[in-house]
Amino acid sequence: MTREEQLLAAMVDAVDTLVDDFDLIDFLHQLCDRCNELLDVSAVGVMLADPSGGLQLIAASDEHTRLLELFAIQADEGPCVECHRDGAARFNISLRSPDETAAFPLFAERARQAGFATTHALPMHLRRKAVGALNLFDSREQKLSDADARVAQALADVATIAILQHRSVVHGNIERAQLRAALSSRIVIEQAKGIMAERWQATLDEAFDALRRHARSHRQSLAGLCKQLIDGSLDSSTVQRP
């Protein structure tokens, strides 16, 4: 697809929040894929604020990024954490520069160990309140252009609109319940990933991709599929190996 077609596809994904079987977790992983394609970055992570105001990891494009984002939350440092706190975007941070990473040295060291050289953090805004943050990582010392920065923020805004619209349509004023449901789904998905990766002797990323493909091809929610695999109501052999 052309860049314009990819942007349109991202907008269409957001409109799909109006359908009854909208899957928030899968949507956010699709957002990660769109960011990778459109912005030519290596990895993407999405964090949302929980009812107490703390950040929770909801989606990541790969296992290395998931672990890095979890570390950022545990250590309470990193550009994504700061972005959520003050609502300001941060672009073109060199993870190899002591000056640029002085505020989050532990995160920067862990990010370098994961193979990343540059990072960007963008707020997910509801009016003046940041409800989450989008984190971009690149294995190269490569800066985002002004045009790409605008596209990145547009994707973060699309994700915010989609999340809030879904909450409104499905639950009305029930923001906390929606986030709890998303976090609960995330736990179930991680358990299923581990089970299938062990069974197949595959990586967690390969297992996750296989589960996503199976859920989509059978028009089933990703969390629902994972619950069935865990409780044994679905034969795991029906899921195609990666």
Query: C-alpha angle 36/92/110, rounded to 5°?
Result: 80
What pLDDT is attached to residue 60?
A: 92
What pTM, to 2 d.p., does this model score? 0.73
Cα separations in angstroms, 215 against 68, 72, 220: 26, 30, 5
What pLDDT is attached to residue 126?
A: 75
Min mean pLDDT across 7-11, 24-28, 58-62 is at 7-11
| Any domain includes 179 | no
Contact 160, 132 (CB under 8 A): yes
Is there a single domain that holds both residue 29 and residue 149? Answer: yes
What pLDDT is attached to residue 191?
A: 94
How many structural domains is the chain composed of? Answer: 2
What pLDDT is attached to residue 62?
A: 92
Is there a single domain that holds both residue 156 and residue 190? Answer: no
Residues contacting 136, CB < 8 A, separation 6+? 35, 39, 41, 43, 44, 119, 120, 121, 122, 144, 152
Strand duo 43-49 + 118-126: pairing: unpaired
Closest to 61 in 3D by CA, of 32, 25, 28: 32
| Any domain includes 56 | yes
Residues spanned by the domain of 146? 3-172
Give residue 21's Cα distance to chain centre.
19
Dump pLDDT digits (tens) for 188-229.
999 999 999 999 999 999 999 999 999 999 989 999 999 999
Contact 36, 67 (CB under 8 A): no
Dump pLDDT digits (tens) for 126-174.
777 788 999 999 999 999 999 899 989 988 988 888 777 766 665 554 5
| Any domain includes 178 | no
Closest to 44 in 3D by CA, of 58, 56, 24: 58
* Number of residues in the chain: 242
